[in-house]
Structure 1
Amino acid sequence: MDILSDEAQVVGISGDNEFCKLAWKESNPLIENIAHTLCADLGLKLANMLGIADEIEGVCQRATFIVDPQGTIQHITVNAL
């Protein structure tokens, strides 16, 4: 599958709740119309499972995961906060 195809899906996940995400989108004209799904990882359970939780700061590191249709992670990039 080509990651730029119509079949590819983009999902943004953070430890913020849905109200924080909505305020974030509405506060910046450059991102207010993004169309991808935004999900909440309250408690950072998924971030901990993926090894990208910053326990000291209580946030997720900025990371990108490319997952194939079978659910296998094919690529990971982790960036500084």
Structure 2
Amino acid sequence: MSLINSEVKPFKATAFHNGEFVEVSDADLKGKWSVVFFYPADFTFICPTELGDLADNYAEFQKMGVEVYSVSTDTHFTHKAWHDASETIKKINYPMVGDPTGVISRGFDVMIEDSGLAERGTFVVDPDGKIQVVEITAGNIGRDADELLRKVKAAQYVAKNPNEVCPAKWKEGEETLAPSLDLVGKI
């Protein structure tokens, strides 16, 4: 079953955020756009490059009204230790959610059961708590925050303009398409 347009499953967890431990739940994803960004583990190799890239682009996500949540099966204590130890991770200002029981990872269908780690899964969640974008990549392939920003902008655009669609490589301000019988076979 596809996760597109499905509601985020209930969860409660503890996150490391702005020097504190805070509670996060599925309710926090409602009322605004969110990115839920799963990665395998703290203190690894590709993960800090991805999380650093998100941190470098976090202000742009915030300008768009989007909250970013990074999630791994590590604990919130491990997130704090990594934050304290790594110059790359120190620049993170978004919540780093601990999922040691795997409830969140299973709810988004990214749990690797035999290792207890999460796949590299990226989810864009709309203000109604419904998943609009799903991307899952192999463990050895890093993701790009610029491409994620483009996808979020497209998702926000079509949410505001339900009679239009964003074609391949669409960027904010470019022309969209209005599907109609007259357009069939003309693209």
Question: What's the TM-score bracket when you normalise by the shorter of the two chains?
Answer: 0.7 to 0.9
TM value normalised by structure 1: 0.85
Q: CA deviation at 1:33?
A: 2.1
Q: CA deviation at 1:6?
A: 4.5
Paired AA for residue 22 in structure 1: K
Aligned match of 1:73:
131
Aligned match of 2:71:
13
CA distance in 2, matches of 1:6, 1:26: 28
Runs of 4+ more than 4 Å apart: none
Identity over the aligned pairs, expressed in percent?
26
1:51-70 mapped onto 2 (5 Å cutoff): 51-70=109-128
User: What do you get for the CA RMSD once the two structures are aligned?
Assistant: 2.0
TM value normalised by structure 2: 0.40
**How many aligned residue pairs are there?**
81
- Larger Rg computed on CA atoms: 2
Aligned match of 2:96:
38
**C-alpha distance after superposition, 1:21-78 (max 9, x if no partner):** 1122222212212100111112101111211000011111111110011111010111
Q: CA deviation at 1:10?
A: 0.5
Paired AA for residue 17 in structure 1: T
Bigger RCO (CA 8 Å, 6+ sep) = 2
Which deviates more, 46-55 or 24-33? 24-33
CA distance in 2, matches of 1:77, 1:37: 20
Q: CA deviation at 1:7?
A: 1.4
Between structures 1 and 2, the one with greater helix share: 2
CA distance in 1, matches of 2:97, 2:66: 17
Aligned match of 2:144:
none
